[in-house]
Amino acid sequence: MDQTDRLKIAFITPEMAPLAKTGGLADVTGALPKFLSQESHLEVAVWLPFYREIRNKNLKLKSAASNLRLNLFPDETKNTFSICEYQADGFKVYLIQNDYYFDRDYLYGTPDGDYPDNGLRFAFFCLAALQSFKPLNWWPDLIHAHDWQSALTLAYLKHLLNKDDLYKNARSLFTIHNLAYQGIFPPEILGQAGLPDYLFNPEDMEFYGQVNYLKAGLLYAEAISTVSPTYSQEIQRPEFGFGLDGVLRKRSDRLFGILNGIDYQEWNPATDPALPAHYRPDALEGKSVCRQELLRAFNFEPAGQQPVIGLVSRLAGQKGFDLLVKSLDEILKRDFYLIILGTGEKQIQDMLIQAARKYPERFGLKIAFDDRLARLIYAGSDFFLIPSRYEPCGLTQMYSLRYGTIPIVRSTGGLKDSVEGFNPQRLEGNGFLFEKYETNALLAALDLALSFYRQEPYWPKLIDNAFKSDFSWKKSASSYYELYLKILSS
């Protein structure tokens, strides 16, 4: 197929692994374009802010355009940008460079709180991304925007650039990775972002007296997707809707749920350079070496035979730490090691630090963002715990399964769609689930899981089932491709 015949898809996203990451969104936008680009009919490019985190990586970059301006603000430093180009595996990444907005220590804010100008920072990013198509001479057939930070692209397309023929033909898909984060700002932000005042009404971007960026994505995109089939249903109910379930119900005929995948090349216990030893389903000795190394890293007895339960997570309300900490006295009556790696909200951090002090022989805690250690935890643990209150998809259960580690998860969102409860009679299933967000439910799942630990014939079969679970991107990438075609033909 001729290059020019290929459908062009522009990913607009605030994160992309390995360049800039705070959570699973980055893994998805780092991997999905790579797998879509293998499809001969598609050409994908990604737009991302040029954060300090990326600058510090000293990547090989090319200048693609410079001295561009938006004319939103009178102040030059807040108005101009350049575009740097990075060649990723099979696709290009265009980095929007404005040092005033993006050359900062963090992506969204310090541990004490969000940057106060996030509304402007991501309005700038969205408009700059759209206005870079001309200088780059790259016009997408479809714009695929991710989460609230990219949602204003849809508002700009529909309400600012709609008279421009070049933009008029672009179709759009908005993906919700997490409905809880909406980008809510005071009413003045509309004018400051260059959007018309008439959008401040309940049928548009107004939301309880404020402006809601995510709502623009939900209303103005031709289709909406979210990252698991179960979550696509859950968010249409008030308990999971964070005030937007009504909007989503209205658009339910254009709302799709596609389960995320993981990159099986990047995450492979047989080759992962972060691991002290490698292993595969038919040769598991390396997993024991990883286990010992993990116990050593947390100053536990490396030869300890008790089960190791790992957890790697953003420290956020969503992830179920209140339930975990509340249940700890009961949980730690059982004989196992609990190892947690996480970073995020200070309150959860403090709660965990206190709990770890109380159980130094059994509970290992590291407050950090550390990809290497995360991989050692996926590999070296026997079980992996995810007690989330809600979980749009969740990737850590998929990484665990890929590394032969058995997930114990709350049955919600994508966790429900990817973990199948173990059935000891039929020797089927790859993990353990619990329904109620309660200590007793968590304990029951934990006890059931522990009862099979190193027990023949269950344990080898469980590990085998984990390895056989398939969350490669192949399936999900083709679902996105089909969705793109559906949007383009409607």
Give me the sign of the Cα torsion angle 100, 102, 108, 110: negative
Query: Is 391 one of the binding residues for ligand GLC (CB under 6 A)?
Result: yes
Residues of span 330-359 touching ligand ADP by CB under 6 A? 341-343
Residues of span 394-423 touching ligand ADP by CB under 6 A? 394-396
Q: What is the Cβ-side half-sphere exposure of residue 331, based on CA atoms within 13 angstroms? A: 25
Window 186-225: contact mask with ligand GLC (x via CB under 6 A): ----------------------------------------
Residue 322: φ, ψ to 5°: -65, -40
Secondary structure class of 428 (helix, strand, coil) = strand
Query: Is 178 one of the binding residues for ligand GLC (CB under 6 A)?
Result: yes
Closest to ligand GLC by CB, 337 or 390: 390
Q: Please, are residues 17 and 30 in contact by the beta-carbon 8 Å criterion?
A: yes
Closest to ligand GLC by CB, 98 or 260: 260
* From candidates 183, 380, 394, 407, binder to ligand GLC by CB under 6 A: 394
Query: Is 370 one of the binding residues for ligand ADP (CB under 6 A)?
Result: yes
Kind and range of the H or E run holding 294: helix 285-297
Residue 364: which of ligand ADP, ligand GLC, none does it interact with, CB under 5 to 8 A by kind? none
Query: Is 23 one of the binding residues for ligand ADP (CB under 6 A)?
Result: yes
Residue 227: which of ligand ADP, ligand GLC, none does it interact with, CB under 5 to 8 A by kind? ligand GLC
Query: Is 369 one of the binding residues for ligand ADP (CB under 6 A)?
Result: yes
* From candidates 37, 260, 430, 476, binder to ligand GLC by CB under 6 A: 260
CA 130 – CA 168 distance, rounded (Å) = 12
The identity of residue 387, as a single letter, is: P
- Output the CA angle 47-51-57, nearest 5 degrees: 100
Residue 342: which of ligand GLC, ligand ADP, none does it interact with, CB under 5 to 8 A by kind? ligand ADP
* From candidates 15, 27, 204, 234, binder to ligand ADP by CB under 6 A: 27
Closest to ligand GLC by CB, 307 or 394: 394
Closest to ligand ADP by CB, 145 or 312: 312
In angstroms, the Cα distances linking 281 to 382, 402, 467, 471, 480 are 14, 10, 7, 16, 30
Q: Closest separation between CB of residue 72 and ligand ADP, Å? A: 30
Which residues have a Cβ under 8 Å from the Cβ of 305 and sit 6 or more positions away? none
User: 344, 399, 367: which is closest to 181 by C-alpha?
Assistant: 344
Q: What is the 3-state secondary structure (H, E, C) of 28-69?
A: HHHHHHHHHHCCCCEEEEEEEECCHHHHCCCCCCEEEEEEEE
319 pairs with which residues across the strands? none
Q: Closest separation between CB of residue 321 and ligand ADP, Å? A: 12
Closest residue to ligand GLC, judged by C-beta, is: 24
Q: Closest separation between CB of residue 4 and ligand GLC, Å? A: 32
Query: Is 323 one of the binding residues for ligand GLC (CB under 6 A)?
Result: no
Window 59-98: contact mask with ligand GLC (x via CB under 6 A): ----------------------------------------
Secondary structure class of 342 (helix, strand, coil) = strand
Closest to ligand ADP by CB, 18 or 304: 18
Which residues have a Cβ under 8 Å from the Cβ of 70 and sit 6 or more positions away? 79, 80, 81, 124, 127, 128, 131, 194
Closest to ligand ADP by CB, 401 or 487: 401
Residues of span 12-51 touching ligand GLC by CB under 6 A? 23-25, 28
Which residues have a Cβ under 8 Å from the Cβ of 139 and sit 6 or more positions away? 8, 133, 166, 170
* From candidates 8, 134, 251, 314, binder to ligand ADP by CB under 6 A: 314
- Beta-carbon neighbour count of residue 360 at 10 Å? 11
Burial 324-342 (b: 16+ CB within 10 A, else e): beebbeebbeeebbbbbbb
Residue listed under structure tokens 């996926």 = 378
Q: Closest separation between CB of residue 5 and ligand ADP, Å? A: 35
256 pairs with which residues across the strands? 225
Query: Is 387 one of the binding residues for ligand ADP (CB under 6 A)?
Result: no
Query: Is 393 one of the binding residues for ligand GLC (CB under 6 A)?
Result: yes
Secondary structure class of 362 (helix, strand, coil) = coil
* From candidates 392, 404, 407, 429, binder to ligand GLC by CB under 6 A: 392
Q: Closest separation between CB of residue 94 and ligand ADP, Å? A: 23
Which residues have a Cβ under 8 Å from the Cβ of 311 and sit 6 or more positions away? 338, 339, 340, 341, 342, 377, 384, 385, 386
Q: Which chain residues interact with ligand ADP by CB under 6 A? A: 23-25, 27, 312-314, 341-343, 369-371, 374, 393-396
Q: Which chain residues interact with ligand GLC by CB under 6 A? A: 23-25, 28, 177-178, 227, 260, 391-395, 414
